[in-house]
Structure 1
Amino acid sequence: MDLSPEDSLRLNVLLHQGLQALRVDESRMVVYALTERGEAKVPLNSNCRDEQYIRNVKSLLSSHSLGSPGGYPVYLKRWTRMGQAKDDSLDQLLVLGEEEAVVAVVHAPGLTDELARRAWWCMPTSDNARRMLEKEAVVKGEMGPILSEFLIEHLPFEEDALAMIDSVKASLQFGLITDEQKQSLWAKAKMKGAYFVGFLQAMPDDLPGDAPANINHENFKEKLNDLIEKGNKPAKLLIKILSASGQNYLNAIDASLKRPSDQNVVISLFMTIENYFKDICPGFENRRDIDLIKDEAQEKCSQCDEQLAEVKTILPEAELYLNAMMILSGYCEELTFPVFGQTDAIGSVMRKRIKHLTDPMKEQTKILRS
């Protein structure tokens, strides 16, 4: 069935007005458009069932943009979210009136700052903001501060812990928010432990805090300077964790362990710590038992690889620090499987169930601060 004559005329005129983006309000039966001249809208006058009429409208839009009335394959959600949309057709997807097409643009690696502006006009959601802030062109463009400000404003309304972590991480990218906003987020993290994980992921070497460097930092740095210049990774990591920024990192780990809200926060924290300390250890054979990890860490420190042996030769007194770093590098998602695979507990009950994992972590951070 064709569109009503007045709608057909208005939409065809609209499609030739330098159209940049378009959205369809199916409940109000209105087409909104973003053009080179500004915003416009076309109220729809259906001549059949609204659902069928909307399909007819989208068929017209698709025929104009893609050359086919078939429209965007909205059922391919997994494909859409894997960033498979072709970069040279992203602008065309934004004028189809399909939310899933907008999501495809948001996830596309070739997203530009201008396309982000249009996509944001089409569908301003927190998830879209997070995905767009994964693109360097957006972070460094005009949309970066706009998206980060939106995420910060909507953080109090986020219920999903992973969404909180991602929002904080996305917003903390260099230059997007002010120091005052950063300090405000840090203060709120005392009540929302997930925020701490976002900080640990986004700015591990520049966290808020006034912790002094470890008392051995300068001495060790002087002795290991030649190894560091040669690119010795364990030496660099040791000096980093003993520095003021490293001590702030350890304090943030302890803060995040006080009240983790759910299992996703714990898993994200463990994976973040694993990534931070990865240069000390190539990996563990046993990844589901903290006692086995501690034993294996001790063995790896005794029978160490070439780079670690160089550090121990120059600084035998640093072995306790190296062992603590080795154990922390063993914290990973698999370590939680024996507990989280048998319970969906959250809050205080969950914290009691993982005490055998968090207590050893606190022990290692204490060693690295001593």
Structure 2
Amino acid sequence: MQLADEDTLRLNVLATTALAIRIDEKTMCVEALTEHQTHRIELKPTGHPDRYLRAVRENLSVLALGTPGGYPVFIRRWTRTGALETERLAGLLRLGEAEAVVAVAASPNLDDELARRAWWCLPTAEVARLMLSHPDVANGSIGPELSQFLLDHLPFEDTSRSIIDTVKLLLCSRLLNEEESGRLRARAENHVACMVGFLSAGPNYLCATQAASRFDTESGNDALMEQLLQHAGSPQGQTFLRCAQQALEKAIDMDTVVDTLNALGDYGKPLRGETVLPRSAQDLLQIVESLTNSSGTALDSDEVAANQSAKNPDRQSALITLSLCGEPLVAPFFAKSDAVGSLMRKKLEPVLEPVFAALETLMKQN
């Protein structure tokens, strides 16, 4: 379809100065972001609106990228992994195509300025999450705005996946103040997906900052098992374990189960080394027995720490059990079942029994 001569001329002028372009399909308007202001033109369709908009995007594609045909939205899944070429990211923001904006947001080469333009083009929760996952963006000028948007939008999220990812990003970006973190923490007490977001972020975020020291297993590796045992018995560790237990007891779908298990596995990850994660409760118990028997001073090269750890064999085995948790443990179940809610939890009981037993052991008083 041919564009009206007036629209062709105005689009050509608009594209020469535009940093980003978006299209309002309802009002049939094209808006452009420039260095100092925004410009808006009303289209004069000469045919069916959908076909006319397609022609507009094809025209913008030629002007921005030098290629006809518009943005290839059929490669949506690929571009959202960040696998798109990044040489012409700025040009993608001048196509007036939502999927092109998402591709830019997912690019590993995204910077603060491109993020600002992408946010002007498509201010959605998905784009905010993609961009806030970039440290340069989170620490840049647009970071606080993205964080505030996600925090305000959180009550309207309706899937566990989006809630978990949003909460984890908000916490790890460190852009929330104490009051906002407190409100988010209070919400997590009654919302399992929100709680799993806290667990995914790590033990450091479940307690008020001033009430707990930061958990770090990278330091003190000469006494790794003893360090983990001490943390598991600390108020911060007990809170983490209690919340993980509650999350599994109240899990509502696959995402809440898998992400909780992944969080537990990350908690004790240094203990498992290169061990392949088990895919059944039986495999889990066998690997735990093997690692417990062979661990000895391997995890605590410091002799004093090794002797101290040896006094708690049950707790040591429980920590190793948690370190082996992860998606593979429940993958065979979810490959054959789409159960959710209480039915899912009931069917998962045999698989998760060793995990619950380990949590109970670690939450007992020393």
Structure 2 length as normaliser, TM-score? Answer: 0.88
Q: Structure 2 CA distance, aligned partners of 1:195 and 1:245?
A: 18
Shift of 1:314: 4.8
Find the residue that maps to 2:19 and give its secondary structure.
strand
Aligned to 2:299: 308
Shift of 1:107: 0.5
Aligned to 2:242: 251
Which deviates more, 303-312 or 118-127?
Answer: 303-312
Aligned to 1:340: 334
Distance 1:70 1:341, change over 3 A: closer
Aligned to 1:110: 109
- Identify unmatched segments of 5+ residues in structure 2: 213-217
Preserved contact between residue 205 and residue 246 of structure 1 (Cα < 8 Å)? no
Which deviates more, 157-166 or 291-300?
Answer: 291-300
Aligned to 1:240: 231
1:126-160 alpha-carbon deviations (Å, 9 max, x no partner): 11111111101111012222112222222222221
Preserved contact between residue 296 and residue 310 of structure 2 (Cα < 8 Å)? no
Aligned to 1:329: 323
Aligned to 2:8: 8
1:161-194 alpha-carbon deviations (Å, 9 max, x no partner): 1111001011112431121111111211232101
Preserved contact between residue 164 and residue 193 of structure 2 (Cα < 8 Å)? yes
Q: Structure 1 CA distance, aligned partners of 2:67 and 2:274?
A: 52
Aligned to 1:266: 257
Q: Structure 2 CA distance, aligned partners of 1:281 and 1:330?
A: 7
Aligned to 1:51: 50
Aligned to 1:219: none
Which deviates more, 89-98 or 200-209?
Answer: 200-209
Which deviates more, 34-43 or 309-318?
Answer: 309-318
The equivalences for 1:219-230 within 5 A come to 229=220
1:21-76 alpha-carbon deviations (Å, 9 max, x no partner): 11122332211211223222111112233233223322221222112223322221
Preserved contact between residue 193 and residue 260 of structure 1 (Cα < 8 Å)? yes
- Segments of 4+ moved more than 6 angstroms: none
Preserved contact between residue 228 and residue 235 of structure 1 (Cα < 8 Å)? no
Aligned to 2:38: 39
RMSD: 2.5
Structure 1 length as normaliser, TM-score? Answer: 0.87
The equivalences for 1:143-162 within 5 A come to 143-162=142-161
Aligned to 2:67: 68
Shift of 1:309: 6.2
Aligned to 1:368: 362
Shift of 1:305: 6.1
The code of the aligned residue for 1:339 comes to F
Q: Structure 2 CA distance, aligned partners of 1:102 and 1:300?
A: 48
1:279 aligns with 2:265: no
1:243-267 alpha-carbon deviations (Å, 9 max, x no partner): 3322221122123133111122101
The code of the aligned residue for 2:348 comes to I
Preserved contact between residue 98 and residue 122 of structure 2 (Cα < 8 Å)? yes
The equivalences for 1:187-202 within 5 A come to 187-202=186-201
- Identify unmatched segments of 5+ residues in structure 1: 214-226
Q: Structure 1 CA distance, aligned partners of 2:287 and 2:8?
A: 72
Percent identical: 37
Q: Structure 1 CA distance, aligned partners of 2:75 and 2:277?
A: 38
Shift of 1:284: 5.4
Q: Structure 1 CA distance, aligned partners of 2:129 and 2:151?
A: 11
1:343-366 alpha-carbon deviations (Å, 9 max, x no partner): 322112222222234444333223
Shift of 1:228: 6.5
Preserved contact between residue 45 and residue 52 of structure 2 (Cα < 8 Å)? yes
Distance 1:40 1:257, change over 3 A: same
Preserved contact between residue 147 and residue 175 of structure 2 (Cα < 8 Å)? yes
The code of the aligned residue for 2:186 comes to A
Preserved contact between residue 223 and residue 306 of structure 2 (Cα < 8 Å)? no
Distance 1:90 1:228, change over 3 A: closer
1:85 aligns with 2:84: yes
Find the residue that maps to 2:88 and give its secondary structure.
helix
Which deviates more, 247-256 or 156-165?
Answer: 247-256
